[in-house]
């Protein structure tokens, strides 16, 4: 089967060299079959192989082809939903456990990068910016909650004047700087995890989409030219899983998100935009986010599509958003523009679970997955090996299906998001 190439993105153009991996063309046996070679799948395969399991990782296209190779690359603490929502869903004790896991996931990402010497341009620092005065008040409350309830230290609340020393823009009221979060090249990170998994003994087959599954005490996973018989099966396709397992489909919505990359600006000009090379995201519900690249470009993300329809002429659609923040880039050429899907859940909390005793899944990171996806792989590997405590905390988060079924849930979500867009304007 012909493998689809990576999206025409800055990440693909600057990707580390990776080997071509063959299509599965045999009938093979494994302890575990993992479906989807993004960060979650590669991490799962890595951690299982390190534990001595025979692991086969199936990817329909190429390693990092989906969201893991296209995202904003922002390594951020916490979850896409607020902690008070998690407390309401699972109670204070489990909410604290979830916070600790998310906090650990940021540090653990750095450990993996260091352990396997993954060249992915890791940088420290993340800044949430207040577009409106109410955002600045929300940041003040958020900082106090994180410090008092969860002991998260090091956050710096910046007023407009202090923020101006970090960002060369006047559009924000202030911000919240977190030196412990950061940003990285997501495709190179994913490729590094895949290489580490193979070195540990996992087999990775690209161009091998799943065409059918027979469940049982031993599962059989079929591809166009082969099959895997496995004791355990793990789904890591997230927004790109499609109809491979329909029981998971209605628990998330694939949402399009888009990024452009400028031409190289030169070190001095790039540094003048974001002084300390932190990643930035604003406080709007439909947010904009951006950062510098290692070769001194500005990578700017924003505009989303809840209808799954991509904007016409992406570069032209995105540049006005970038210029609203940095009008001094009017002369900068947009060199790359690309999009991809993230999987969001109704409550914006990640969705982990089991379809049966020997079938696991993790999905629905809701745009907050750089750290959590790698941790999800570790937790699923631990659960398969018999230590499921941390994984099971996530399984206790209740998840609704998106209303409207397959036919009507997209237009329903489009209408709902119109309200949030209107709120962002107020």
The answer to whether the CB of 278 falls within 8 A of the CB of 291 is yes
Residue listed under structure tokens 């210029």:
323
Structural domains present in the chain: 10-70+187-252+347-401 (3.50.50.60), 123-183+253-344 (3.30.9.10)
Residue 308 has pLDDT above 70, yes or no: no
Residue 329 has pLDDT above 70, yes or no: yes
Residue 90 has pLDDT above 90, yes or no: yes
pLDDT of residue 314: 83
> What angle do helix axes 39-50 and 370-384 make, rounded to 10 degrees?
40
Residues near 82 by beta carbon (within 8 Å), at least 6 away in sequence:
none
The 10s digit of each residue's pLDDT in 280-295 is 999 987 889 999 999 9
pLDDT of residue 286: 82
Distance CA 274, CA 292 (A): 7
For residue 193, give the 3-state DSSP assignment: helix
Residue 420 has pLDDT above 60, yes or no: no
End-to-end Cα, the chain, rounded Å: 50
Q: How is residue 425 written in tokens?
A: 């304007």
pLDDT of residue 309: 62
Q: Which of 197-211, 319-333, 391-405 has the lowest mean pLDDT?
A: 391-405
254: which strand partners? 343
């Amino acid at each position: 089967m012909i493998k689809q190439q990576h999206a025409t993105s800055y990440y693909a153009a600057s990707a580390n060299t990776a080997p071509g991996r063959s299509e599965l063309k045999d009938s093979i046996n494994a302890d575990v079959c993992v479906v989807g070679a993004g960060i979650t799948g590669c991490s799962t395969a890595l951690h299982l192989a390190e534990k001595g399991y025979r692991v086969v990782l199936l990817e329909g296209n190429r390693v990092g082809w989906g969201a893991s190779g296209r995202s904003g690359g922002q390594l951020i603490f916490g979850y896409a939903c607020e902690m008070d929502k998690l407390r309401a869903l699972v109670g204070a004790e489990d909410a604290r456990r979830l916070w600790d896991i998310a906090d650990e996931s940021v540090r653990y990402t750095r450990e993996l990068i260091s352990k396997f010497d993954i060249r992915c341009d890791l940088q420290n620092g993340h800044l949430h910016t207040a577009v409106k005065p109410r955002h600045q008040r929300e940041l003040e409350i958020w900082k106090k909650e994180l410090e008092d309830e969860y002991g998260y230290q090091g956050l710096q609340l910046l007023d407009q004047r202090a923020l101006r020393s970090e960002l060369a823009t006047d559009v924000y009221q202030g911000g919240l700087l977190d030196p412990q979060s950061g940003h990285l090249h997501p495709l190179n990170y994913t490729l590094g995890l895949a290489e580490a998994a193979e070195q540990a003994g996992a087999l990775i087959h690209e161009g091998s989409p799943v065409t059918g599954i027979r469940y049982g005490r031993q599962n059989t996973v079929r591809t166009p030219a082969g099959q895997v018989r496995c004791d355990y099966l793990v789904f890591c396709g997230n927004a790109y899983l499609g109809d491979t397992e329909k029981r998971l489909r209605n628990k998330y919505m694939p949402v399009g998100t888009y990024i452009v990359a400028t031409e190289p600006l030169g070190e001095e000009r790039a540094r003048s935009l974001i002084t300390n090379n932190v990643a930035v995201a604003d406080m709007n519900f439909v947010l904009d986010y951006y950062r510098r690249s290692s070769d001194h470009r500005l990578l700017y993300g924003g505009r989303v599509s809840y209808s799954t329809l991509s904007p016409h002429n992406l570069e032209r659609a995105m540049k006005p958003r970038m210029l609203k923040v940095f009008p001094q880039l009017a002369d900068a050429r947009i060199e790359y523009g690309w999009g991809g899907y993230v999987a969001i859940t109704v409550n914006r909390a990640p969705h982990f679970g089991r379809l049966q005793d020997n079938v696991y899944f993790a999905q629905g990171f809701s745009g907050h997955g750089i750290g959590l996806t790698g941790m999800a792989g570790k937790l699923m590997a631990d659960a398969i090996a018999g230590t499921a405590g941390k994984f099971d905390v996530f399984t206790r988060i209740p998840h609704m299906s998106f209303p409207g079924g397959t036919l009507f849930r997209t237009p329903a979500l489009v209408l709902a998001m119109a309200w949030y867009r209107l709120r962002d304007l107020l």
